[in-house]
């Protein structure tokens, strides 16, 4: 839907426009709030973000997309809620893309990477069980990983926008994204092997 028309419809109080934006953006706003403040306050932060956004809508200047603007409001609300509590993501937790036993002392793979039976995304998605595996793995990802993956690979946000929204460094964001992708890759790989 065209953004200007959508905003005009919202300002005019069009019910379908409200349904549309909530359906489109509630989930990703929740993803951002959970990543910043955790599960307990996320719902409340998102509800408040919605209300602030709707009240500020007549002043929306369209410099960012509506999606990025909503995510920024959510992020600001979540950060305010944290009351300037200083926190740095600790990524030094011994995480590895692949466990050490898969490589020899020189870093070569010991076993072959097996060919997947289904070798296109479409083929993967036609398998209900596998869709279920992917959905479950996604839900189990830590909130920061889920938020970065959602914004990057599903919503197509730029890395700089993601870093601003989550208030993390580019290197942190890249590590989180790779961890999330790797976790999903593992789950597909495990399913293919079973």
Query: Helices (H) and strands (E) in the chain — how many of each?
Result: 9, 0
Q: At closest approach, how far in Å is the CB of 156 from another protein?
A: 8
Binding residues for another protein, per CB under 8 A? 10-11, 13, 15, 18-19, 21-23, 26-28, 30-31, 34, 43, 47, 50-51, 54-55, 57-58, 96-98, 102-103, 106-109, 112-113, 115-116, 119-122, 124-125, 131, 134-135, 138-139, 146, 149-150, 153-154, 159, 174, 177-178, 181-182, 184-185, 188-189
Nearer to another protein, 18 or 41 (CB): 18
Q: At closest approach, how far in Å is the CB of 82 from another protein?
A: 20
Which strand (E) or helix (H) includes residue 71?
Answer: helix 66-81
Q: At closest approach, how far in Å is the CB of 165 from another protein?
A: 15
Nearer to another protein, 55 or 84 (CB): 55
d(CA 165, CA 130): 31
Nearer to another protein, 2 or 111 (CB): 111
Q: At closest approach, how far in Å is the CB of 66 from another protein?
A: 14
Which ranges of 150-169 does DSSP label H, i.e. alpha helix?
159-166
CA-nearest of 116, 154, 111, 117 to 135 is: 154
Nearer to another protein, 68 or 146 (CB): 146
Rg for the chain (alpha carbons), in Å?
Answer: 20
Is 78 buried (19+), middle (13-18) or exposed (0-12) by CB count in 10 A? Answer: buried
Q: At closest approach, how far in Å is the CB of 163 from another protein?
A: 12
With beta carbons less than 8 A apart as the criterion, state whether 34 and 147 touch.
yes
**Cβ within 8 Å of residue 79, ≥6 positions away:** 36, 167
With beta carbons less than 8 A apart as the criterion, state whether 46 and 26 touch.
yes
CA-nearest of 38, 40, 36, 19 to 73 is: 36
Nearer to another protein, 83 or 111 (CB): 111
Q: At closest approach, how far in Å is the CB of 84 from another protein?
A: 26
Nearer to another protein, 5 or 109 (CB): 109
């Amino acid at each position: 839907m065209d953004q200007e028309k959508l905003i005009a419809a919202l300002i005019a109080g069009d019910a379908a426009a409200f349904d549309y934006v909530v359906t489109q953006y509630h989930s990703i706003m929740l993803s951002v709030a959970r990543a910043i403040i955790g599960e307990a306050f996320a719902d409340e932060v998102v509800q408040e973000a919605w209300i602030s956004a709707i009240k500020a809508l007549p002043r929306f200047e369209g410099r960012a997309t509506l999606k990025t603007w909503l995510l920024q409001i959510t992020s600001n609300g979540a950060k305010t809620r944290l009351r300037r509590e200083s926190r740095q993501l600790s990524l030094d937790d011994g995480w590895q893309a692949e466990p050490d036993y898969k490589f020899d002392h020189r870093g070569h793979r010991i076993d072959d990477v097996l060919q997947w039976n289904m070798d296109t995304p479409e083929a993967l998605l036609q398998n209900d069980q596998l869709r279920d595996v992917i959905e479950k793995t996604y839900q189990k990802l830590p909130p920061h990983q889920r938020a970065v993956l959602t914004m990057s690979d599903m919503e197509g946000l730029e890395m700089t926008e993601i870093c601003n929204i989550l208030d993390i460094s580019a290197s942190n964001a890249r590590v989180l994204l790779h961890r999330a992708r790797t976790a999903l890759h593992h789950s597909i790989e495990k399913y293919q092997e079973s």
